[in-house]
Structure 1
Amino acid sequence: MLRLIWTASVHVRIIMRRYMPTNIALDGLRSRRGLKWGIPAMLLAIPYLYTASLLTALIDSGAPRWLFAFTVILIWDAFKFIAMGPVSLVALLHVRTAESRQHRALRRPVGPLTHL
């Protein structure tokens, strides 16, 4: 039973990462070129939270209660974008320091002729 649940969760994760727009956007933000867009991407949480509040208002006024599932998904996606801002900033700082260390190491002459 545990193996079946584990296998199903792995397949759901693969499908979600491949086809869901927020996961595709977050994968792009985690790339080297996308790290600089982490802080502006936090603004994408605003429409998600606004839509979640609209759905909640609709549910309160008599819409079907199964819309709560979409509300939870929208709030979860908003939190992912909010968390990605600081995470991408730290990752960008880490990558830039590693790149500057590499450039300094390449500029430094190495070998027996360095002290002539």
Structure 2
Amino acid sequence: MIRQLWILSVHTRAFLRRYMPTNILLDAIRTRRGLKWGIPAMLLAAPYLLAASVCTTLIADGAPGWLNLLVLLCLWNTMKLIVMGPVSVLHLLRVRIREAAAIRRSFAGTRPA
């Protein structure tokens, strides 16, 4: 039983990472070329926050309760995008420091004595 639940969760995670828009975006940002897009991607959190606000207003006015799931999804995507901005900057700094160190090492090895 636990094995089946584990397999189901693995397949669900693979599906979500492959087909959900924010997961595709975050995977693209985590690449070396995409690290510079972390801060602009934070701006995409605003439409998700607006959608959550609209759904909350609709629920308060008597809309169906299943819209609460949409509110949770929008808030989750908002948090993912807001967190990814600073994280991508830190990753970019780390990568650039490593690249600079590698260049210094390569130049240090080619200097005549």
| TM-score class normalised by the smaller sequence | over 0.9
Q: What secondary structure does 1:114 align onto? A: coil
Provide the residue aligned with 2:11 in structure 1.
11
- Which one-letter code corresponds to 2:75 in the other structure? I
Matched residues in 2 for 1:81 and 1:26: separation? 8
Q: How does 1:60-99 map to 2 (within 5 A)?
A: 60-99=60-99
Q: Which amino acid aligns with 2:64?
A: P
> 1:25 & 1:59 partners in 2: Cα distance?
29
One-letter amino acid of the counterpart of residue 20, structure 1: M
Q: CA offset at residue 2 of structure 1? A: 2.0
Unaligned runs of 5+ in 1: none
Consecutive aligned runs of 4 or more in structure 1 exceeding 4 Å deviation = none
In the superposition, the TM-score normalised over structure 1's length comes to 0.92
Equivalent residue runs for 1:52-67 within 5 Å: 52-67=52-67
How far apart, in 2, do the equivalents of 1:12 and 1:109 lie?
Answer: 49
Superposed CA deviations along residues 10-52 of structure 1, whole A, max 9, x for unmatched, are 1110000100000000001101111011111111111000000
| Structure showing greater Rg | 1
What is the CA deviation profile of residues 52-111 of structure 1, one whole-angstrom value per residue up to 9, with x for unaligned ones? 00001111111110111111011000000000011101100000000001111111235x
Share of identical aligned residues, percent?
Answer: 52
